[in-house]
Structure 1
């Protein structure tokens, strides 16, 4: 998993604890002698005035309309990143989560409407469409498999569908009377964001100005302001850092280390900012705030239901409450499970590696935790406070029941089907064979570092210097092994370069051409490769013939298959002592990992 995705998942899981605490505090406060203070707090008016222009909202509206717009902005940023360079770049991987997401909305809505067929209760159908990502991932960490990285990615992809549809429903179905002039201004702000993204503007402030204009316009237009956050997030582009800009940032940082002056430091800061896309910079800044402040404060403002005075008894007898419970607990389980498993049975896609059917059902059950979006829609769907309380009780009860059903599904999957892990493999699938693998160093060295790499990957090129430093540190105690993992979808010359290195290996010159390819990875056309072969004194005719006949394609496919079976999904991926290395791959980190592996081998008690 990429570092941004690991960071995203970790933050969401950590915020679940705060969500639970905020919910408990809200319920306790609303059912105490200080309930008046609770209601008075959220009714407090806060206004902003510039000249004759004034924006006045009570505190609860600030939370629902402003804070939640930031929350959906972060969701939109993550969706855009996944579509551009993340898990959803391979559209085939998105088929089953897409089907599961659609099923997880259609079935709950049908169940809700089957229980609430008429009257104002019908308006609450939107309450059951959403899934709370923070609660889902936090609960998964508590009740799910020991390792759940692949299942978490699958569920996160599924919630993308939920979030987009939920915001669309909020904006279209649950908005007020439309004010056309404000809507036109919102359209202009949207165009401005799209133009900034198209031009790849590197500074953050133009996007912030456009987003504020969009939010204010949407707020005045009668649409719910949360839609502004999602639209803005989807329009801010995400892309991989460019090698030239990364190197320029590194040079600027080196210059500042040599000359720690304010002007040089400012230049280095600017170079670093330009090397990281605005999309990811905003996520890094905003995501902790939305996870640890926005969502818990939203729970504190919206989960406080006074259950006294017969409210709880009325809720338990209310079709609205049971419609919410049935939709979230039963509907999500059936809809998500049928969409994912049915789609796989029909051959429309396949489950992520390491994820079993029982674990899918466990995740489907947990997707019935609709907390944040559900509470937001409750306030928009019902004007009657009694109805709001009944629906809120349903959401809270569904949270408990969905967690219990998910826990049961995971336990049964482990006991009946042996589904104890839902993560990618961590162990090197094919042991190192000095007769077959490309090995630098003493073949019988006690320490082993394996790298799966792509000759056109700029980060692999930088990693060659890292591996050189690691080899120098350990000397004869380390053997470095290179295996192919070309990524032709993003690096069109990678497979040809890999074949060229194998053609050179057939003439005993693999490592020489390996070094040349990484030094000149921006020139990997066929004529370039032929020129490199001539420079190295190879038989160029034989070299080109083997490329034309794809003589070494089987060898490259075997490396790719071993990468797949070992859990390697991107480049560079390192294996230290036969186990996949997760985290930074700078020289210091890899040296520390190899030293730790050596200590473990020397002292089995540390294993």
Structure 2
């Protein structure tokens, strides 16, 4: 009986997560188009100034990327925690396929990027083509309607969540420059205190949220990217049995819509205000452009399909019912939709505004290409119901 209830809660939250993410993906497309149009219109100066105006000591764009996005990472952390405890990652045999797929989808694109950029000033962008945008990927998948089997939705969602975890680790390890150890120690001290509250079975959400805000402040001033706080906080919030009465479930359920329909669209508006120059052809020929394009459009599907095939071939796991290799390749192309996380890593990897602007444009172009190819492949291979 208990297992049946857990499966129901798992199914409810997965459906909720999928529906919100696919809707968010469609809204993100709209926000991106609006932002691009405004950035290249007669209102360009005013529009760009809006995101760069000072709020306190930093720009509005800074607080969006370091503040609001922490809440996005908190939701990702809660989703990952749920998958580990009672979801698709709870059984190692079932989890191995998306884990291997995600590893391939990170290693191969990073390798392709470094092939073109190793030893240059732009080699720090290797993390850009490693990311998958859950909202956009699920948004494109949703356009195929009811012909998409549940196994395919679950595989893409698990793959993207693991991919996000990989991106978070990459950000924490490779995009941290100067560390202020005292602030970092205080942040982890607060996390330890919250973990003790967890073990003492304190099931009130308020102490964790207050502790999370304080932990975010010290993490922000530690040199480690502040958004990491969201994931760390997710794993100290009590999961209990994962039922609808648990604070983890309530918080995750509450955050779905604000993140999907407010935070990510604001992030898209702020970070796709790209002024398109007349040197687009020249931009495409740059080494970091080649690394991003080939990493997302070819590296992602190649890595996801190749590592999945290896895992199945050596008997570590098997393809779920409803999946075949053509569908895995199609999902691999959807994994090449980098957008949110790719742009986020771009902001950390580069300091030159011109390079950042160009890289954002290349990410949009690559994500659009990968998404269209993935959509056409899946449409061809999925039977209408």
TM category, shorter: over 0.9
Aligned position for 1:297: 266
Match of 1:365 in 2: 333
Match in the other structure for 1:276? 245
1:475-524 Cα shifts (integer Å, max 9, x gaps): xxxxxxxxxxxxxxxxxxxxxxxxxxxxxxxxxxxxxxxxxxxxxxxxxx
Q: For residues 76-125 of structure 1, what are the alpha-carbon distances to aligned partners after superposition, in whole Å with 9 as ceiling and x for unaligned?
A: 00111111122221121001111111000000001111122332111110
Q: CA deviation at 1:235?
A: 2.4
* Counterpart Cα distance in 2 of 1:86 and 1:194: 22
Cα RMSD for the two superposed structures: 1.7
Is the CA contact 2:134–2:161 (under 8 Å) kept in the aligned structure 1? no
Name the SS of the counterpart of 2:58 in structure 1.
Answer: strand
Q: Which residue of 1 aligns with 2:178?
A: 177
Pairing partner for 2:381 from 413, 438, 447: 413
Q: Please say which of residues 101-110 and 279-288 is displaced more in the overlay.
A: 279-288
In the alignment, structure 1 residue 392 sits paired with structure 2 residue 367: no
CA deviation map 1:226-270 (0-9, x unaligned): 11111111222323367xxxxxxxxxxxxxxxxxxxxxxxxxxxx
TM superposition shift of 1:9: 0.7
Q: Is 2:45 the counterpart of 1:36?
A: yes
**Is the Cα contact below 8 Å between 2:326 and 2:381 reproduced in 1?**
yes
Match of 2:28 in 1: 19
Deviation at 1:319, TM superposition (A): 1.8
**How far apart, in 1, do the equivalents of 2:247 and 2:301 lie?**
37
> Residues 5-84 of structure 1 correspond to what in structure 2 (within 5 A)?
5-47=14-56, 56-84=57-85
1:484-523 aligned at under 5 Å gives the runs none
Query: Which of the pair has more CA radius of gyration?
Result: 1
Describe the SS at the equivalent of 1:235.
Answer: coil
Query: How far apart, in 2, do the equivalents of 1:149 and 1:199 lie?
Result: 38
| Residues 194 and 236, structure 2, Cα contact 8 Å, conserved in 1 | yes
| 1:144–1:407 CA contact under 8 A, matched in 2 | no
Q: Aligned with 1:351: secondary structure?
A: coil
Where structure 1 has 5 or more consecutive residues not aligned to the other structure, the ranges are: 48-55, 243-274, 422-607
The structure in which a higher percent of residues are helix is 2
Q: TM-score, normalised by structure 2?
A: 0.93
Alignment of 1:90-239 (within 5 A): 90-143=91-144, 146-239=147-240
Unaligned runs of 5+ in 2: 1-9
C-alpha deviation, 1:347, in angstroms: 1.2
| Structure possessing the higher relative contact order (Cα contacts under 8 Å, 6 or more residues apart) | 2
- Give the conservation status (yes or no) of the 8 Å contact 2:140–2:375: no
Q: Give the equivalent residue in structure 2 for 1:324.
A: 292
Change (3 A) 1:353 1:187: same
Give the whole-Å Cα distance in 2 for the aligned partners of 1:31 and 1:99: 41
Please list every run of at least 4 consecutive aligned residues from structure 1 whose deviation after the TM superposition is greater than 4 angstroms: none
- Residue 18 of structure 1 deviates from its aligned partner by 1.1
Return the structure number with greater strand share: 1
Structure 1 residue 145, shift from structure 2 partner:
6.7
What number of residue pairs does the alignment pair up?
Answer: 376
Rounded to whole Å, the distance in 2 between the matches of 1:202 and 1:57 is: 36
Offset, 1:345: 2.0
Offset from partner CA, 1:126-171 (integer Å, 9 cap, x none): 1011100000101111147713321111111112221111112112
1:333 alignment partner, one of 296, 301, 309 = 301
Whole-Å Cα distance in 1 between the matches of residues 141 and 357 of structure 2? 27
Relative distance call for 1:195 and 1:311 in structure 2 (3 A) is farther
Partner of 2:12: 3
Distance, in Å, in 1 between the alignment partners of 2:60 and 2:315 is: 50
Alpha carbons of 1:20 and 1:278: their partners in 2 closer, same or farther (altered >3 Å)? same
Q: Provide the rounded CA distance (Å) in 1 between the counterparts of 2:46 and 2:343.
A: 21
Name the TM-score, length of structure 1 as normaliser: 0.60
